[in-house]
Amino acid sequence: EQYSNFTLKTLGSGDITGAVKLPPGEELNEWIAANTVDFYNELSLMWGIICDVGVPPVEAGEGFPPGFQYLRSASTPTAAMLFKNNTNTSCSGPEYIDFVMSWVDKEISDGVLFPRNASTPFPKNFMQCVRVIYTRLFRIFAIVYYHHYAQLEESGAVSHLNTSFKHFIFFIWEYDLVSETEQEALADIIKEIKLRHATAFPNRVRTASANASFSEGV
């Protein structure tokens, strides 16, 4: 696989578990919301770099990890509505990324799922909705690794991708945000992350969650 050699060298073995744990005194939803914005910004930056280099045209149904095809919702509902509206349409990998980035930006900005001030409580279905967001962000990482790695390599941004993904994967493990089925799209890289972490920190091994259940139709 085109990404393997350099990626496996730059994943590193540093302990990132402390960076994903809930800080003392921090409210869980606030912590997850803040990190969601950070991960979105990281991916937005990388997608911008990729687009600047150039994205080759691909047909609908193409540009995804082997064995996976991600569908775009026929409309752009809020995350809460995703569980009521199951209408999806075929798209290409780049189209899926554009859709998700626009959709997540709306979710972050409209003040419904992510309250703008501390006096406004998070919605009761916040974790349910945010798992959909993290599943879709994971899919962007998968598309980028398989089909846009060369653009990041050309721009010298591969190590940034690897660092960002390592942080992301430990975060989703910590809070059970993405199902194991979804994670199969990047199984080789995830296996290497686990191996290096287990070797460097044998008493701190984390495994992917078996509890998250949003693997299809999101």
Each residue of 113-171: pLDDT tens digit?
999 888 899 999 999 999 999 999 999 999 999 999 999 999 999 999 999 999 999 99
Question: Is the torsion defined by CA of 197, 40, 67, 58 positive or negative?
Answer: negative
Tokens of 168: 């992301």
Q: Is residue 216, in this structure, part of any structural domain at all?
A: no
C-alpha gyration radius of the chain: 17
Q: Is residue 16, in this structure, part of any structural domain at all?
A: no
Give per-residue burial for 47-60: e unless 16+ CB within 10 Å, then b.
Answer: bebbeeeebeeeee
Q: Is residue 179, in this structure, part of any structural domain at all?
A: yes
pLDDT at 23 over 80: yes
pTM across the whole model: 0.83
Beta strands in the chain (DSSP E): 72-73, 88-89
The total number of structural domains that make up the chain:
1
Range of the domain at 98: 4-11+27-200
Q: Is residue 195, in this structure, part of any structural domain at all?
A: yes
pLDDT for residue 197: 77
Q: Is residue 206, in this structure, part of any structural domain at all?
A: no
CATH number, position 153: 1.20.140.30
Q: Is residue 18, in this structure, part of any structural domain at all?
A: no
Query: Concatenated DSSP letters for 31-50?
Result: HHHHHHHHHHHHHHHHHHHH
The larger pLDDT score, comparing residue 187 to residue 85, is at: 187
pLDDT for residue 87: 63
Q: Is residue 207, in this structure, part of any structural domain at all?
A: no
